Structure 1
Amino acid sequence: MGNMESSKSDSNKGMVETCIFCWIANDQDKETEVIKQNKELVCFRDINPAAPHHYLVIPREHIHSCLSLHKAHTGLVKRMAEMGRAVLRDQGITDMEDIRLGFHQPPYISVDHLHLHVLAPTSQISKYMSYKFIPRSNNFVTEEQLRKRLKNKTPPVQCISGS
């Protein structure tokens, strides 16, 4: 089985069978409680929270990481952040200045599926885990930084081989 992409049904289209986040996004993981979802995105609690409120927002489509994105994904990143903020508001967070939204960059990712970390309050991020969520560091890029970076990033050119 050289291709790991599932072709079982349209609802699982783009699912990588070995990816836990694909399983969660396609309602295949019965242990994860989904907090909010729509046709494009799913939000759930991080299993190893670094703050009192620590959620992950993932696209249903399998995208490896923030390095896989280009300018056409700017809207996706924005919608991921909007869902993250909505979940925080739903959970009673009112101080939107004391939150952090961002992505880990390879090789600092633990799951090879694009995911936005949504943390609040920032002032209560665990001192033992705070190094993982330092904005503008090599391992963590904020949602705003990523959207700025994507503005001029063109999609990769795909070579089409002849017959």
Structure 2
Amino acid sequence: MRIRLTVPENTSSSLVEKLNAWEATITARDSSGSQLSFVCEIEPGFFRDCDILVRNLQGRMEILAVSVHFEGDTHVDDIADHVDLQPSLPTKGSADPIAQLSEKIQKQTISSAAPKKVEAKQNQCSTCSAVVGDAKEYREHFKSDWHKHNLKRKTRNLPPLTADECSADVNLGDSKSDLKDYSF
């Protein structure tokens, strides 16, 4: 990473010594008044140590670039060009690269030909202790009278009711037991 370090001139020698120990590359130096400013490229692993040192020296640090690459470094774009990042393992009795390639293609064809069973993700409502289907059904559940009723029960530290129990409770209008359970 590329950073700018500004420290008082009288403490700059200890900073330069530490940067050399961290194998940092100092790309620019500038002095203004009693302050020295260094622009350097440092390994990200030394960032915290460098920050602590600069603060102890009554200086300040600025991050100029997080990702700095040198010539010859591997970039993510270069890696994307490679299809198979793992080295190919030699197969039994086939030293010919063409035979190895055809075997790989056959394995890929066989594995991709098998139909994959796609399961819909099941969501669970923690208020009602019920498993609800996909995301659309899950959102609809929150709008239901069953969920709203169990939410009221939850605020009163009462256990949740099943859907049948809730509909029976609401349909019968058993208000006396509700008033006892929901005493204000």
- Which entry has the higher C-alpha Rg, 1 or 2? 2
Larger helix fraction of residues: 2
